[in-house]
Structure 1
Amino acid sequence: MSRWNEEKALERSDIDQVTGVIHRILHETIDQLGIAYGIVSEFSYNSEEPPSWTISIDDSKTVLNSSLLFQYMKQHRNLNDALTQFMRDHFSYFA
């Protein structure tokens, strides 16, 4: 494997790890409410296109993308706190 391919594979692995953590935190946060919900993760084979998550609770739906996540991370500096605040800001169940 060429050096460039190795770097891309490591980069993809890091992205996969972070997206897995985000997915887990979202599920754990919503599971605590005991309500029906759905989370659809959208990934691209193009590494320039970051993943996003469409979150649905009852009739409400919102999309978490990397730019929104970075805004929340600037405020909270902790992924769990950033995602919890995102959920509070977008769904009345978390108010």
Structure 2
Amino acid sequence: MPNRPGGPPARAEVLACVSPGQPLATVKVTSTFNAERTFEVRVTFESATTADVLDRTSLHITLQANESRSVHVKMVDPGKAEQVKNCMVSVSLV
């Protein structure tokens, strides 16, 4: 059961986006459930020159009740890291 009825299952924020030579984003995920749950974390890497999507990837993470954890999310195509301007993250229950 979530802590807040009708609230999101988890919160996610980008702590660090990719950079040339570092093709991964660091994301913090916080569960809002009072029990262990598995979440899908999706990261979209957007272009530096336009809002075009350069890459997308996701991973699953299992968190304990109200746990927060930082994870590294690697780009599928690391060769595009230098073109990335923005990283967007979303999270949902699996």
TM-score by length of 2: 0.30
Larger strand share, 1 or 2:
2
**Which protein is bigger by CA-based radius of gyration?**
1
Larger helix share, 1 or 2:
1
The structure with higher relative contact order (CA 8 Å, sep 6+) is 2
